Amino acid sequence: MVAGGLMLSSFAPNIYFLFFSYGIVVGLGCGLLYTATVTITCQYFDSRRGLALGLISTGSSVGLFIYAALQRLLIEFYGLDGCLLIVGALALNILACGSLMRPLQVSDYPLPGKTALENIPDRYSVYSEKEKNLEENTNMLERRNSSEEMNKSPLAPDDGKHKNPDMAHTRETETYRKKVAEQTYFCKQLAKWKWQLCKNYCGETVTLFKNKVFSALFVAIFLFDIGGFPPSLLMEDVARSSNVKEEEFIMPLISIIGIMTAIGKLLLGILADFEWINTLYLYVATLITMGLALCAIPFAKSYVTLSVLSGIIGLLTGNWSIFPYVTTKTVGIERLAHAYGILMFFAGLGNSLGPPIVGWFYDWTQTYDIAFYFSGFCVLLGGLILLLAALPSWSTCNKKLPKPAPATFLYKVASNV
């Protein structure tokens, strides 16, 4: 999806086509890639999970730097269309990386032992429910066929000439009835299976939100993305509004944020592996400190102060590397994919809402002060809510959640044909 969307965007005739090809197709592909990669990494690594998450998060930051430089060169030499086509071809290398990711063999849920009468090979067994449904469907077709035969009157005596055609017709009818019965049963079972999947998903979602730490984590990540994302877009404008001269810009503030984010992802990932560090409290500390740093930006009137605050914000933004670790500790590895998908959906929603809200504050006040106060308040509020939820019950988060009982079926020995 990522490669195809990028290549398709190179042939875009207008901006509306890009809304679909680049915004929807590429965006959806990137979202699926990120969630799958993080989930697989958490499943593969246990004792060094934080370091693994830190490395893959740092890799994404390094990739952004390389892509930014490569993008300028490609646009200069090949134009925007050629740039999208080449980057789309490069994105096909994701397939090579994905082919190395193999599902682990799950052995934590042994199937319940069968009783003596049921302890038979599966190839000699059939579902009793299937047999029952097939019999019902076949009987229904037989009743319909017999009623049709009763309405027909015989036109000739039954002699040897008509015996073989009648027998062939009977066999064809019997075969047809069985095929229709099997197809009817398959459709019913498929509908039941889909409905059961929906019920299970809704039930698991409700169970997740009954965990108050997960609910607080849900609120915290939503508020963090509303308030934490806009500063990376506005720091240069803040410096200009504070009358910082261009000669003082030793390094762009956005570059400082990017470099420190990469360092923060790796550093926080390493810290998460230490047994004496509570990862949830570490994540809360990054939220609260970042909220205070955002509220301090309106008081910064020099390049040095803005550089220091940009470095702090970038370092703390690296808490993305420990967020999957915290989610795993909260819900368990069995529910990680489900829980992380929900959290990432609302994180993306917060990313979409944050910049327009901050821009509206600037249009309303013609200053960035209120905008950064709002951003800092959102991040700070999310950290405090998560802290209040975690203080009395972090020990319960480390306990293994009850494992879902595997589905059981009744088996019956099939009669020998």
d(CA 288, CA 227): 12
- Torsions phi, psi for 374 (to 5 deg): -65, -45
Q: What is the mean pLDDT of residues 75-98?
A: 90
Q: Are 229 and 355 in contact (CB under 8 A)?
A: yes
Check residue 290 and give its pLDDT. 93
Q: What does the pLDDT look like over 370-399, one tens digit per residue?
A: 888 999 999 999 999 999 988 865 444 444
Which residues 6+ apart lie within 8 Å of 234 measured at CB?
358, 368, 371
Q: What is the mean pLDDT of residues 8-21?
A: 91
Instruction: Report the number of secondary-structure helices (H) and strands (E) in the chain.
Output: 16, 2
Q: Which two tokens stand for residue 255?
A: 């570059």
Instruction: Report the half-sphere exposure of 403 (CA within 13 A, side-chain side).
Output: 10
Q: Are 322 and 283 in contact (CB under 8 A)?
A: yes
Which of 94, 85, 69 minimizes the C-alpha distance to 6? 85
Which residues 6+ apart lie within 8 Å of 343 measured at CB?
217, 218, 221, 323, 327
Per-residue confidence at 92, pLDDT binned at 50, 70, 90?
very high
Q: Are 322 and 265 in contact (CB under 8 A)?
A: no
d(CA 340, CA 382): 17
- From residue 274, alpha-carbon distances to 52, 54, 270, 282, 399 in Å are 14, 14, 7, 11, 19
Q: What is the mean pLDDT of residues 124-148?
A: 48
Q: Which two tokens stand for residue 317?
A: 């933004």
Percent of the chain with pLDDT over 70: 76
Per-residue DSSP letter, 415: P
228 exposed, middle or buried (CB, 10 Å; 0-12, 13-18, 19+)? buried
Q: Residues 7, 12, 16, 20: what is their CA dihedral angle, to the nearest 10 degrees?
A: -20
**Is the predicted pLDDT of residue 303 greater than 70, yes or no?**
yes
222 exposed, middle or buried (CB, 10 Å; 0-12, 13-18, 19+)? buried
250 exposed, middle or buried (CB, 10 Å; 0-12, 13-18, 19+)? exposed
Q: Which two tokens stand for residue 320?
A: 């993305």
d(CA 210, CA 402): 14
* Average of per-residue pLDDT values in the chain: 78
Task: Give strand pairing partners of 412.
Answer: 126
Percent of the chain with pLDDT over 90: 21
Q: What does the pLDDT look like over 21-72, one tens digit per residue?
A: 999 999 999 888 888 888 888 888 888 888 888 888 888 778 877 887 788 8
Which residues 6+ apart lie within 8 Å of 382 measured at CB?
219, 220, 221, 222, 223, 224, 227, 287, 291
Residue with tokens 């609302």: 346
Per-residue confidence at 143, pLDDT binned at 50, 70, 90?
low
